[in-house]
Structure 1
């Protein structure tokens, strides 16, 4: 595709740069409108500058991707309500054998959960669990936060629903869920293992320091808090032992007081007192019977509520498993996710608004603006011209070509972000590989998915998962920790290059 007119090239480039700046740095001082508004602004400028028409802008919005993204977000909300991520968090500390075992568990659980519930969701939910475990074992948080974010990115590469760029690739390439998983799973498994080993080697000395004294202090403190809660001064008097001196003295004082009172009152008063005492005893008997009758009924109600909750959770898990099976059977991914989401709303049997309010509609709107902006930038002819220059060196049937293609994807994913990179390069990379064979076309799509996803580990700004972990850790109440850009970069550059290279040899 040749370059458009100079005016369209300049105006389209301006609109794309504005979109890129606001997407990568959403709090820029000169226009602090945020990432979503920046995406819409870029798309609107493409139409206003007449780089594309309004009809072309609407046509650029891919409803299949938006439907799939919406459905998976709703399913993730219900899984969170069903305590799925709470159980995953408990697995992190269950029968732990030390810091090195913990960091391996973080890598494994983060990768698996991200493959099926998206990397962003896993990072949002698991960050606080990781911080609590690090504090409980008196360990530095940053190796575990790096393990969570990097493994989430690597694990999400294995499935079409693991991250947004894979959603785009799955829809555009029409590769089935099963073939996608089969093609990248070996690379994902080896990538998670290598990433965990790299973390262990890099932080071996730091993870070998165990401060047992502080762990004991934390346990003693927790026990003291528990005891003070259970045995408050207001309730201690009701549990005085019968044979204690204080209890005997109380009984003596009460008996002396009763004798003096009896001697000092008339017989009529004494009789009325006896009657009133008899009526009180009868009332106490009735109230005790009522309590004995109500306690079993309350227990039955609690048992019924508990079983209803277990049944509902089981339904949520079964629907999720059914969705994954349907995806493996190559049913339409978008409608499968939406159907699973609607099934969970119906089974919940209550107003779905609270659950739907947790869906990130700003992300859906961001995608709409991004689709329009990228389509407008494509119309300028700049991406095609640059690709024409790189195409002879990026042939998929040569090792050198795969290496150069991977470097291009890696650099663009960190400069432009991974989803726009997939939208800009996807069709061109596939067309180049299709000229060789159909198998190479499929491999090209999978290489694009693998490299654009793992590229997110290169720097703190490389993927949304990294930013989510950083922000969640910083804002966690009483557990706040700031993951710096340079501490991430020191780990991210070598890990990304090694994991990417190893994965490329295993993609089928």
Structure 2
């Protein structure tokens, strides 16, 4: 695409620059309105500056992606209500064999839960459990928080529902859930193992320190039972009534417990059914929405409290982002810049894959991974399709893998990293700040090594 009319180029670039600044730095002093409002502002400016017509702006919004995102968020809410992630959290301390064993468990559980429930959801829930276990064993939380955030990002790369950019890739590429999973699963598993090994190497001495676990339990107050002499003599009738009341209450508690267990089992079965349907190649958006509504009906309660937990601001953010990025593409700047890179980014040889990976890695950390996928998706696909259909699919999977793992490079590279950092800082019992430089020191080597290994294994 040639560059559009020069005024449209300038105004479209200005609108995208405003969106980019607010997306990357949501609390800028001169306009602290946040990411969601920033995306809407960018979208509005694209229409006001006549880079897009109102009709083109509405057409730019991808409703199937929004439907899939909404459905997965509702399913995640009900899974959390059914204590699914709580059970996963309990596995962290179950028969633990020390700090190194705990770190490996965090890597595995974080990766698997992120692939099924999205990386942001897994980090929101599991951060509390990680801090709790670290506090109980009087352990330095830094390596465990890094394990949680980085493994969540790597694990989310394996499925189309693992993170937002994969949702976009799955719909634009028309790659089925099963094909997406089979293409990246090996790279994801090896990547999680390698990431854990790097963590163990960097923090081996810290993880080997044996501390007195009794120091971590200072706040636990033991209460002694007092023997209260029985001064009242119960009559037979009163004793019989008391036993009868106790028996009826026990039966009621047992009935309620069985109902809760049955409801939880149904939630898990519906979720498993949804995953099977996705693996069978059914429409991803309608499958997840159907599962979400089945859970709403099964709950047999007012769904408003659960639906209020859905991140509607994220859905609005995506709407604005779709419009803003589409307007920026209309200026012709992305395609013009891509024309310079394209001859060196052919995926039919190793050097071309390396150049493509570097471009995705840099853009994902400068412009965030979702806008990067929206900007590069069509260009990468068109370039690879010139060789073969297999290369086209591989190009989409490389884009999914690199843009996701790129989030581990720095603390600002992924929303999952920021969630872990904020959750740890605000924890009432163990407020801990994961610094930018401590994350970068681990993130750079881990990201480069894991990304390179994955590029070799993606099929």
TM-score class normalised by the smaller sequence: over 0.9
TM-superposed deviation, 1:477: 1.3
Take 1:146 and 1:347, find their aligned partners in 2: how far apart are those partners? 37
Please list, as runs of the form range in 1=range in 2, the aligned pairs for 1:311-326 lying within 5 A after superposition.
311-326=262-277
Match of residue 56 from structure 2: 56
Match of residue 105 from structure 2: 105
User: In the TM superposition, what whole-angstrom CA distance separates every residue of 1:36-92 from its partner, at most 9, and x where no partner exists?
Assistant: 001100100100011101000000000000000000000000010111111111100
Please list, as runs of the form range in 1=range in 2, the aligned pairs for 1:61-460 lying within 5 A after superposition.
61-212=61-212, 215-219=213-217, 222=220, 225-228=221-224, 231=225, 236=226, 238-239=228-229, 285-460=236-411
Q: 1:218 to 1:410 in 2, by over 3 A?
A: closer
TM-superposed deviation, 1:227: 2.3
Take 2:372 and 2:227, find their aligned partners in 1: how far apart are those partners? 71
Take 2:185 and 2:287, find their aligned partners in 1: how far apart are those partners? 22
Take 1:217 and 1:32, find their aligned partners in 2: how far apart are those partners? 43
Once superposed, what is the RMSD of the aligned Cα atoms?
A: 1.4
Match of residue 481 from structure 1: 432
Contact kept, 8 Å, 1:413 with 1:456, in 2: the verdict is: yes
**Equivalent residue of 1:52, what SS?**
coil
Contact kept, 8 Å, 2:60 with 2:323, in 1: the verdict is: yes
Contact kept, 8 Å, 2:12 with 2:331, in 1: the verdict is: yes
Match of residue 468 from structure 1: 419
Q: Tell me which stretches of 4 or more aligned residues in structure 1 moved more than 2 Å.
A: 216-222, 225-228, 283-290
TM-superposed deviation, 1:239: 4.3
Take 1:123 and 1:218, find their aligned partners in 2: how far apart are those partners? 24
Take 1:507 and 1:331, find their aligned partners in 2: how far apart are those partners? 24
Take 2:41 and 2:217, find their aligned partners in 1: how far apart are those partners? 53
TM-superposed deviation, 1:492: 0.4
Match of residue 276 from structure 1: none
Q: 1:239 to 1:83 in 2, by over 3 A?
A: farther
**Equivalent residue of 1:17, what SS?**
helix
**Equivalent residue of 1:297, what SS?**
helix
Unpaired segments ≥5 residues, structure 2:
none
**Equivalent residue of 2:457, what SS?**
coil
Contact kept, 8 Å, 2:137 with 2:216, in 1: the verdict is: no
TM-superposed deviation, 1:219: 4.8
Take 2:410 and 2:275, find their aligned partners in 1: how far apart are those partners? 32
Larger radius of gyration: 1
Take 2:16 and 2:134, find their aligned partners in 1: how far apart are those partners? 42
Name the count of aligned residue pairs. Answer: 459
**Equivalent residue of 1:505, what SS?**
helix
Take 2:227 and 2:349, find their aligned partners in 1: how far apart are those partners? 84
Contact kept, 8 Å, 1:157 with 1:450, in 2: the verdict is: yes
Take 1:293 and 1:148, find their aligned partners in 2: how far apart are those partners? 50
Match of residue 452 from structure 2: 501
**Equivalent residue of 1:238, what SS?**
coil
TM-superposed deviation, 1:291: 1.7
Structure with more of its chain in helix, by fraction: 1
User: In the TM superposition, what whole-angstrom CA distance separates every residue of 1:383-416 from its partner, at most 9, and x where no partner exists?
Assistant: 0000011110001101100000000000000001
**TM-score where L is the length of structure 1:** 0.89
Q: 1:366 to 1:288 in 2, by over 3 A?
A: same
User: In the TM superposition, what whole-angstrom CA distance separates every residue of 1:318-377 from its partner, at most 9, and x where no partner exists?
Assistant: 000000000000000000000000000111011000000000000000000000000000
TM-superposed deviation, 1:478: 1.7
TM-superposed deviation, 1:220: 7.2
Take 1:102 and 1:140, find their aligned partners in 2: how far apart are those partners? 12
Contact kept, 8 Å, 1:187 with 1:503, in 2: the verdict is: yes
Contact kept, 8 Å, 1:138 with 1:210, in 2: the verdict is: no
Take 1:239 and 1:141, find their aligned partners in 2: how far apart are those partners? 48
User: In the TM superposition, what whole-angstrom CA distance separates every residue of 1:135-190 from its partner, at most 9, and x where no partner exists?
Assistant: 11111111100000000000000000000000000000000000000000010011
TM-superposed deviation, 1:286: 3.8
User: In the TM superposition, what whole-angstrom CA distance separates every residue of 1:289-317 from its partner, at most 9, and x where no partner exists?
Assistant: 32222111111000000000000000010
TM-superposed deviation, 1:473: 0.8
Contact kept, 8 Å, 1:71 with 1:337, in 2: the verdict is: yes
Take 2:112 and 2:83, find their aligned partners in 1: how far apart are those partners? 16
Match of residue 41 from structure 2: 41
**TM-score where L is the length of structure 2:** 0.98
Contact kept, 8 Å, 2:138 with 2:216, in 1: the verdict is: no
